[in-house]
RNA sequence: UGCCCGGUAGCUCAGCGGUAGAGCAGGUGACUGUUAAUCACUUGGUCGCUGGUUCGAUCCCAGCCCGGGCAGCCA
């Protein structure tokens, strides 16, 4: 028996039979160790199902999805989350603890030692003929998950148990893979991963309401002479907040390491109650020196396509479940997006297009105002039927750091809109000209004193640079078809809800 | 935060001004290489909370709480 797993690429049939690739055998119970000798390493269900030959000895561990009793034995469906599928186990009535096995309900945890054999029944290639079934943790009738389907709304209330359901197992496996693909994309292209701060002293980042971070006694805060709260006595000797964006800090690093990205948690204290807003979410923010808006839009498109292609390839089984039970159009839509270039239209063109569409909108389309959700959806879902990059927005409706175009009316903003979700990426070329940036700040009534270090980036060796933010959960929603952001976050934080 | 819809068994829902039903889950039994197994029987409810109208409210009304959808804010 091998003591350590090796990458599958190194495997041979002989090693596979010997339980190769198994994880460390690590159970809690002393009797379990006694029963199985403590030497046998467990095999993930995923690997057992992918076997190319029977195995004389196998140890599998997981949770019972369902039990079906036959005349002289029971079928157990064992799931360990390594993949969507469960492993069928045959537990013979001759087993010494068969009475206990017949009391196994959905949700119970077991360790099973036996032989991996070709299944006699239809529907699966392999099954385990159990020689020992160790009941590790029983689950009684109050276990909330049933074999039958549950609504996502119900499962949300049992967030600690929902990863044991098929749907959420798939969601969180894909979430993991998507995070991996993000790092891979940037690392392969020479981007440096930067950890921007989560606690920030800037309350004027211009991206929504902030959560305050403090150790002051809210019942009795220290006061200054004038009666205001004395933040000089707070932990950081100033007011601090949770970050709403790592962009400004990423710009500093891009203006040194050339190509950087951040990938971390982001917090917005907006009282948003929609299917696509969370108070705590993860955002990816690449920032590139010597890069204009074109290069930025190119990267955004390449990035989105890379992520779709990666998940399509590595999470095929999970995506099949979404295609079957969540969104029938998912796979055609993902392939459609991969197959063609994103449509690019300027804000001005988009407004013209919407005006001429003849479509009746609840909110009128007018130059100089933000595109409403219904407008964005019309563009991406009705008109182009694919992702759309809208660029060059009027300067009045965008933040101070976006680069002013030569027309003096628009800034180099860009939003990527996708069907079903709307805005998934927001970005821009940044204003690199010190004097123009200072004028922008004046126009936005920002105090330059609060942005000393940010202005320094333009004072010393300034360069054109660009970047964008991708909402990680929104991307996950797009690739899974899951319609509510609360269902792609392990333990979602939304207004009025921070349970678990 | 605004508008709309909903809250009845563990889950999904039906119902109704006269004190409550189905399917699934659970239990018991039968049958069976089953696979959301099947069949029979069966346990299970402060009808979200508070107040009001009424002889009587799960049903009608008001307020509140919770959930969902849409909108705004944005990623």
What distance separates the 2 farthest-apart alpha carbons in chain A? 85
Rounded CA separation A140/A160 (Å):
17
- Indicate yes or no: strand B within 7 A of the C-beta of A123: yes
- Indicate yes or no: strand B within 7 A of the C-beta of A85: no
Residue ranges in chain A modelled with pLDDT below 50: 1-35
Give the pLDDT score at A12.
Answer: 29
- Indicate yes or no: strand B within 7 A of the C-beta of A11: no
**Beta carbons within 10 angstroms of residue A214's beta carbon:** 15
Q: Where on strand B do bases come within 7 A of a protein Cβ?
A: 1-2, 10-13, 24-27, 31-37, 66-75
Give the pLDDT score at A205.
Answer: 53
**Beta carbons within 10 angstroms of residue A35's beta carbon:** 16
Rounded CA separation A15/A20 (Å):
5
Please choose, from the candidates A448, A410, A454, the residue with its C-alpha nearest in 3D space to the C-alpha of residue A428. A410
With CA of A106 and C1' of each nucleotide, the nearest comes out as B25
Alpha helices, DSSP H only, in A120-165? Answer: 152-156
Rounded CA separation A430/A411 (Å):
9
Q: Which chain A residues in 207-226 sit with Cβ < 7 A of strand B? A: 207-208
Interatomic CA–C1' length for residue A151 and nucleotide B50, angstroms = 30
Give the pLDDT score at A87.
Answer: 94
- Indicate yes or no: strand B within 7 A of the C-beta of A166: no
**Residue A39 DSSP class:** T
Interatomic CA–C1' length for residue A208 and nucleotide B73, angstroms = 7
**A288-340: pLDDT as tens digits:** 999 999 999 999 999 999 999 999 999 999 999 999 989 988 999 999 899 98
**A264-285: pLDDT as tens digits:** 999 999 999 999 999 999 999 9
Q: Which chain A residues in 15-74 sit with Cβ < 7 A of strand B? A: 66, 68-71
Give the pLDDT score at A176.
Answer: 98
Question: What separation in angstroms does the CA of A164 have from each of A21, A144, A325, A353?
Answer: 24, 11, 17, 47
Q: Which chain A residues in 374-403 sit with Cβ < 7 A of strand B? A: 374, 377
Residues 6+ apart with CB under 8 A from A113: A35, A36, A40, A57, A58, A59, A130, A131, A132, A134
Residue nearest to nucleotide B11 (CA to C1'): A150
**Residue A91 DSSP class:** E
Q: Which chain A residues in 263-292 sit with Cβ < 7 A of strand B? A: 268, 270-279, 281, 283
Give the pLDDT score at A1.
Answer: 29
Give the pLDDT score at A247.
Answer: 95
- Indicate yes or no: strand B within 7 A of the C-beta of A102: no
With CA of A499 and C1' of each nucleotide, the nearest comes out as B66
With CA of A485 and C1' of each nucleotide, the nearest comes out as B75
What strands lie across the sheet with A212-213, from one edge to the other? A199-200, A240-242, A212-213
Let me know: does A263 contact A193? Beta carbons within 8 Å. Answer: yes
Give the pLDDT score at A2.
Answer: 31
Please state the φ and ψ torsions of residue A24, each to the nearest 5 degrees. -60, 135
Interatomic CA–C1' length for residue A373 and nucleotide B71, angstroms = 8
- Indicate yes or no: strand B within 7 A of the C-beta of A148: yes
Let me know: does A187 contact A312? Beta carbons within 8 Å. Answer: no
Give the pLDDT score at A142.
Answer: 84
Interatomic CA–C1' length for residue A112 and nucleotide B51, angstroms = 58
- Indicate yes or no: strand B within 7 A of the C-beta of A88: yes
Q: Which chain A residues in 338-367 sit with Cβ < 7 A of strand B? A: 363
Rounded CA separation A8/A44 (Å):
13
What's the pTM?
0.90
Residue with tokens 């013979």: A92
Interatomic CA–C1' length for residue A272 and nucleotide B64, angstroms = 21
Give the pLDDT score at A28.
Answer: 39
Residues 6+ apart with CB under 8 A from A261: A186, A191, A192, A193, A194, A250, A284, A285, A286, A287
Let me know: does A236 contact A161? Beta carbons within 8 Å. Answer: no
- Indicate yes or no: strand B within 7 A of the C-beta of A425: yes
Decide: residue A496, CB within 10 A, 0-12 exposed, 13-18 middle, 19+ buried.
exposed
Residues 6+ apart with CB under 8 A from A12: A20
Q: Which helix (H) or strand (E) holds A62?
A: strand A55-69
Interatomic CA–C1' length for residue A159 and nucleotide B43, angstroms = 29
The ipTM is: 0.89
With CA of A141 and C1' of each nucleotide, the nearest comes out as B26
Q: Which chain A residues in 471-500 sit with Cβ < 7 A of strand B? A: 471, 473-474, 483-486, 495-497
Rounded CA separation A275/A488 (Å):
11
- Indicate yes or no: strand B within 7 A of the C-beta of A424: yes
**Beta carbons within 10 angstroms of residue A207's beta carbon:** 16
**Beta carbons within 10 angstroms of residue A105's beta carbon:** 14
With CA of A282 and C1' of each nucleotide, the nearest comes out as B75
Interatomic CA–C1' length for residue A17 and nucleotide B67, angstroms = 51
């Amino acid at each position: 028996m091998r003591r350590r797993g090796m990458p599958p690429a190194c495997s041979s049939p002989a090693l596979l039979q010997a339980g190769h690739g198994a994880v460390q055998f690590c159970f809690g119970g002393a009797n379990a160790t006694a029963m199985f000798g403590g030497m046998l390493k467990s095999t993930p269900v995923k690997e057992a199902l992918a076997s190319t030959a029977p195995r004389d000895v196998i140890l599998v561990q997981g949770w019972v999805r369902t039990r079906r009793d036959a005349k002289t034995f029971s079928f157990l469906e064992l799931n360990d989350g390594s993949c969507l599928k469960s492993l069928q186990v045959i537990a013979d009535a001759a087993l010494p603890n068969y009475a206990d096995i017949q009391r196994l309900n959905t949700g119970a945890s077991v360790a099973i030692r036996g032989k991996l054999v070709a299944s006699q029944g239809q529907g699966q290639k392999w099954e385990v003929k159990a020689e020992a079934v160790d009941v590790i943790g029983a689950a009684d009738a109050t276990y909330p998950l049933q074999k039958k389907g549950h609504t996502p709304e119900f499962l949300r209330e049992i967030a600690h148990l929902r990863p044991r359901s098929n749907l959420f197992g798939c969601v969180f496996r894909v979430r993991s893979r998507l995070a991996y693909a993000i790092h891979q994309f940037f690392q392969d292209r020479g981007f440096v991963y930067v950890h921007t701060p989560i606690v920030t002293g800037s309350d004027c980042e211009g991206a929504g309401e902030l959560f305050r971070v403090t150790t002051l006694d809210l019942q009795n805060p220290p006061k200054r002479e004038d009666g205001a709260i004395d933040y000089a006595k707070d932990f950081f000797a100033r007011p601090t907040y949770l970050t709403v964006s790592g962009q400004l800090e990423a710009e500093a690093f891009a203006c040194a390491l050339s190509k950087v990205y951040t990938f971390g948690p982001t917090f917005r204290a907006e009282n948003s109650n929609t299917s696509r807003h969370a108070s705590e979410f993860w955002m990816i923010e690449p920032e590139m020196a010597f890069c204009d808006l074109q290069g930025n839009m190119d990267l955004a498109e390449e990035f989105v396509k890379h992520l779709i292609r990666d998940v399509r390839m590595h999470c095929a089984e999970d995506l099949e479940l979404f295609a079957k039970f969540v969104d029938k159009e998912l796979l055609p839509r993902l392939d459609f997006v991969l197959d063609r270039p994103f449509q690019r239209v300027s804000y001005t063109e988009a407004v013209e297009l919407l005006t001429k569409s003849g479509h009746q909108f609840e909110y009128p389309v007018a130059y100089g105002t933000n595109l409403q959700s219904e407008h964005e959806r019309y563009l991406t879902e009705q008109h182009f039927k694919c992702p759309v990059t809208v660029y060059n927005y009027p300067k009045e409706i965008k933040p101070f750091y976006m680069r002013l175009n030569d027309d003096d009316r628009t800034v180099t903003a860009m939003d990527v809109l996708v069907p079903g979700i709307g805005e998934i990426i927001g970005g821009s070329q940044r204003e690199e000209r010190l004097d123009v940036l200072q004028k922008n700040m004046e126009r936005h009534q920002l105090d330059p004193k609060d942005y000393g270090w940010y202005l320094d980036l333009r004072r010393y060796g300034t360069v054109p640079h660009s970047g964008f933010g991708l909402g990680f959960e929104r991307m996950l929603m797009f690739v899974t078809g899951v319609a509510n952001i609360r269902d792609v976050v392990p333990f979602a934080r939304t207004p009025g809800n921070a349970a678990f």
